[in-house]
């Protein structure tokens, strides 16, 4: 089964109006991209980004609340993201799990809310360095998938992103064999739980210190369907070579 590759950029808590020029530069560099491109800017830029970019770049949120409305100061619902022009949302990122103590159950409820609103979800899973060194990686990933992903997903609305916590923003990258082992494991778990159709059509991204210098070799690994990129997605000059490597994979 052919899966269209996906290059996703997570701007995290970075970016103001001036940074929207990077989206224009990215669109000009890839007028007819050979892969899907997704940018998830801070919430303050979603509406303007969605209006500014052409159709070849999708815009997403970085989180959403599990409730549609309510007294939740500072939170954003999935319906609000959709209304602002987002088509995707990142959920369960390790920084949300750690900084905001989000559990797998919390992530699952947000996924359900996002899907109900019509958004596509990028569900993040990943192990800490302690868990990796204790050889518990696959147990951790399996548990996060079981707890964070609800039964209602399809290959069209679910993306799974493997981000080893110890590799995010550190410059450290797992070996290609380590990446392949986890991605193969995720694929097998998806097929076993949801069936071959959903399991084989769901895209699995790698995230964690992806940059132009290592993108080509990472994208050659089994079951790597693209990347969730942090810092290197903030500038078109850094993200464009990663997209180009994915287009050639």
CB 219 within 8 A of CB 1: no
Question: What is the SS3 string spanning the chain?
Answer: CCCCCEEEEECCCCCCHHHHHHHHHHHHHCCCCCCEEEEECCHHHHHHHHHHCCCCEEEEECCCECCCCCCCCCCCEHHHHHHHCCCEEEECCHHHHHHCCCCHHHHHHHHHHHHHHCCEEEEEECCCHHHHHCCCHHHHHHHHHHHHCCCCCCCCCEEEEECCHHHCCCCCCCCHHHHHHHHHHHHHHHHHHHCHHHHHHCEEEECCCCCHHHHHHHHCCCCCCEEEECHHHCCHHHHHHHHHHHHCC
- Here the tokens at position 109 are 């409820």
Residues annotated as part of the active site: 93, 163
Find, among 74, 23, 26, the residue nearest to 45 by Cα: 23
Contact 126, 87 (CB under 8 A): no
CA-closest candidate to residue 153, choices 199, 192, 189? 199
């Amino acid at each position: 089964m052919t899966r269209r590759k996906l290059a996703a950029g997570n701007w995290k808590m970075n970016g103001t109006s001036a940074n929207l020029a990077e989206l224009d530069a990215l669109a000009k560099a890839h007028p007819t991209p050979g892969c899907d491109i997704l940018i998830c800017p801070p919430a303050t830029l979603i509406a303007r980004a969605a209006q500014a970019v052409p159709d070849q770049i999708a815009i997403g949120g970085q989180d959403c609340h599990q409730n549609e409305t309510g007294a939740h100061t500072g939170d954003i619902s999935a319906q609000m993201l959709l209304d602002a022009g987002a088509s995707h949302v990142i959920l369960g990122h390790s920084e949300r799990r750690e900084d905001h103590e989000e559990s797998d159950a919390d992530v699952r409820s947000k996924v359900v809310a996002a899907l109900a609103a019509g958004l596509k979800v990028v569900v993040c899973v990943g192990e800490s360095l302690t868990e990796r060194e204790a050889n518990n990686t696959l147990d951790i990933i399996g548990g996060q998938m079981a707890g964070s992903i609800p039964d209602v997903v399809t290959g069209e609305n679910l993306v799974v992103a493997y981000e080893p916590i110890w590799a995010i923003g550190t410059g450290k990258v797992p070996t290609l064999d380590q990446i392949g082992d986890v991605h193969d494991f995720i694929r097998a778990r998806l097929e076993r739980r949801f069936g071959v159709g959903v399991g084989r059509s769901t895209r699995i991204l790698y995230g964690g210190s992806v940059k132009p210098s290592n993108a080509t070799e990472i994208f050659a690994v089994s079951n790597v369907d693209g990347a969730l990129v942090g810092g290197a997605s903030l500038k078109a000059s850094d993200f464009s070579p990663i997209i180009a490597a994915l287009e050639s994979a």
